[in-house]
Structure 1
């Protein structure tokens, strides 16, 4: 009956109403952050006025002038690149960009504390500067990768809860790899991409919705939404060399990392276009492949980017990453959903998961082949323990492989536990019929929610009418009528 439908509608609205849930969550989290920053955080030596002017040096020796350009690029990737890449859903653009903005703003603050606690404690204080800003953005990137797996199926409160736990686990995993094991992972193939991907996949597995078909018609793109998503792709593609090289050592290390990523991305793009056409029966390109798989070369070059991978080696890595990613979107994603019940909205397994694992393997192999003849004195910066004879190159390669296993373990177990926490009904998740819909959490006018299918049908009819009018003009009414 009408009354029953209204009662169900009111219940669903009450459950997803963020009038109190979101403000309370945001205020509590931010107040806690402000208190913790007040107690624990202070400027580092290159940011503090008294400490910086205590010694004689040029103002331009400050690390700001070396790192800030890279930070700008990484920051753009986080807020514009990731945000717009996820706008492909036809009625979820506000949420894609808006929730990306919310999660990133919180995560970078929380990451500053968590990473500082494990990496940057000096006399009981966390020192912050431009490098800590970059590292916080890296951690945020991992959370946004996981966001891609649950896109359209979660509330903003759920996403903030996920960010709280994921940032903490990210910092622990990063500390184990970089500080305890001595792993090299400048571009984050393991710490950022692999961790974020498999954490997100496990979360979305726990949050599996057997009746998601009720929103199936909204889990798709239209012409303009794909065009917006392509904006995100291009920003990510252009700035990925900065992402991978942002915190590497100054000089040849940073230069080499950017160069390796540059060529890997270029080769990946060509193989992506090739595979997209090859896997289609009609030979037409799929925008999903171009938007995502063309970026896999940047992911795969992350670990080995600062190593002597060589330009042609980088191109091979990117070439293979593009092939693997397209095949994943075309064939593996449907299997994961039907057999393993993993509903991966953005296909993060194909862009970040498999290329991230591939990057980790490439890093392990490249590290095991490192020699003084190849690196010279540069060995001290790339593999300091190998240069000091504390470990052999083959042992370093084994450490890289072990680090991949550790990362997968943290991601899978952590995602499993956090997924069950996010499943609690108090967080206002949308119903199966309300997924992939902006109007659940955003003020959206009815005009903005115009049914795009009807719009395109109208445009098609206009074009057909225009064709008939032109035909009448050139062929005459009788021929056109007969042809019709």
Structure 2
């Protein structure tokens, strides 16, 4: 086996040098963080966002990182490359987010504060979702190139959806989950190799599934902060309540469906690791809207049904029919629940009564000339635009990543840590040889079971 032979090192060091230059030219502290204003009132920005930021940061590094460790021979790559991508995207998205924010502004420099770091983590989440679709089938060089392109495309979708269509999406059902999922799926489809579906190394083991559950639990715990992060006042409070209710209903329904869809009435850990989180995804776009507590429970229950049945029936079907290999099942956890969430937000926007929100300003009513029905329609229009951008740019990115210069993985290198990591001695090499020769070990559970 071979690895990138220094290409990843060269790419990362070159990128960091460019970041140093661009930060020096374009970035400065916001007045709330700068040395020229020590007013106590400026501290409220940090107090307001820092606890939420830390929660979201935990989701990126522990939640997403450990959720992907279900692959029995790719644990180092799952949590390690997740860490690398997070650190890379924080810097790159700070620049790109800032440049897009300067559009139409007279400001000459990007001014960053704690909210800027929170927005950078949202870009991180988008790329990590896409990473899940190509987990184990893309090299570190390919991942860095993909992340670099995707952050720009992500900002284009936000500009179109929020600035042009004036859509609302506090928790990112549309701009983070749906965009990240369908961008990653488009890349995965282009990178597809027949050998991916035949690899014995794609399955999980008992201990790897337990590690993945660590990620699930951290994501489940902190998802209310993710959905409520950009909000304030009653909107933030409502977003937390709605998200907790949606997640709770989703988890209960997922356990029920996972058992009933199995011939032996047994739970499938793939469903429990993933579909239990779909309620947070689906609640994102309408988390701060007045959907009522029963509405939050309904959204979470619907998300569980869509996600669980997607893992059980749709994902294997798509793999057989259109050769769409989705390692982590992001279509079921992020893609379809994200679309469901936007539809729910469109319904909530269409029936919204301005008087019900009179206690606080809401982005839903920033365009006074629009009726509630029009707001609902623009939610759907924005979703169509975002999906189009994601699929088109993801497909182009996939073809770019197939160029030999970016180190495409060979058949024996798929889902294999030993290609890029120093692995412990012991049974590792023997297991690798057995898997390569097609010897299936007892007790392993397919990720698509």
TM-score calculated relative to the size of structure 2: 0.94
Rounded to whole Å, the distance in 2 between the matches of 1:148 and 1:439 is: 19
Q: In 1, are the aligned partners of 2:197 and 2:325 still within 8 Å (CA)?
A: no
1:226-246 CA-partner distances (Å, limit 9, x unpaired)? 000000000000000000011
The structure whose Rg is larger is 1
TM-superposed deviation, 1:309? 1.2
TM-superposed deviation, 1:178? 1.6
Equivalent of 1:28 in 11, 14, 23:
14
Q: Which segment drifts farther, 427-436 or 24-33? A: 427-436
Equivalent of 1:381 in 332, 349, 362:
362
TM-score calculated relative to the size of structure 1: 0.87
Aligned counterparts, 1:196-215, within 5 A: 196-214=180-198
Equivalent of 2:256 in 249, 256, 274:
274
TM-superposed deviation, 1:383? 2.1
Q: In 1, are the aligned partners of 2:141 and 2:406 still within 8 Å (CA)?
A: yes
3-state secondary structure, aligned to 2:284: coil
TM-superposed deviation, 1:448? 6.0
User: 2:278 corresponds to which residue?
Assistant: 296
Q: Residue 142 in 1 paired to residue 142 in 2?
A: no
Aligned counterparts, 1:218-237, within 5 A: 218-237=201-220
Rounded to whole Å, the distance in 2 between the matches of 1:403 and 1:448 is: 51
User: 1:119 corresponds to which residue?
Assistant: 101
Q: Residue 435 in 1 paired to residue 414 in 2?
A: yes
3-state secondary structure, aligned to 2:168: coil
Q: Residue 217 in 1 paired to residue 200 in 2?
A: yes
User: 1:451 corresponds to which residue?
Assistant: 431
3-state secondary structure, aligned to 2:28: strand
3-state secondary structure, aligned to 1:49: coil
Q: In 2, are the aligned partners of 1:21 and 1:157 still within 8 Å (CA)?
A: yes
TM-superposed deviation, 1:67? 0.4
Rounded to whole Å, the distance in 2 between the matches of 1:213 and 1:273 is: 27
Rounded to whole Å, the distance in 2 between the matches of 1:374 and 1:65 is: 28
3-state secondary structure, aligned to 1:345: coil
Q: In 2, are the aligned partners of 1:306 and 1:382 still within 8 Å (CA)?
A: no
Equivalent of 2:374 in 371, 395, 415:
395
User: Aligned Cα RMSD in Å?
Assistant: 1.8
Rounded to whole Å, the distance in 2 between the matches of 1:455 and 1:190 is: 40
TM-superposed deviation, 1:174? 0.8
Rounded to whole Å, the distance in 2 between the matches of 1:208 and 1:81 is: 27
Q: In 2, are the aligned partners of 1:212 and 1:433 still within 8 Å (CA)?
A: no
User: 1:168 corresponds to which residue?
Assistant: 152
Q: Residue 47 in 1 paired to residue 33 in 2?
A: yes
The change in CA–CA distance for 1:403 and 1:455 in structure 2 (over 3 A counts) is: closer
Q: In 2, are the aligned partners of 1:150 and 1:344 still within 8 Å (CA)?
A: yes
Q: In 1, are the aligned partners of 2:8 and 2:141 still within 8 Å (CA)?
A: yes
Q: Residue 257 in 1 paired to residue 239 in 2?
A: yes
Equivalent of 2:398 in 416, 419, 423:
419
Equivalent of 1:406 in 385, 391, 410:
385
Rounded to whole Å, the distance in 2 between the matches of 1:371 and 1:417 is: 42
User: 1:78 corresponds to which residue?
Assistant: 60
Tell me how many residue pairs correspond in the alignment.
435
Unaligned stretches of 5+ residues in structure 1: 1-11, 459-484
Unaligned stretches of 5+ residues in structure 2: 444-449
User: 1:474 corresponds to which residue?
Assistant: none
1:76-96 CA-partner distances (Å, limit 9, x unpaired)? 001110000000000100000
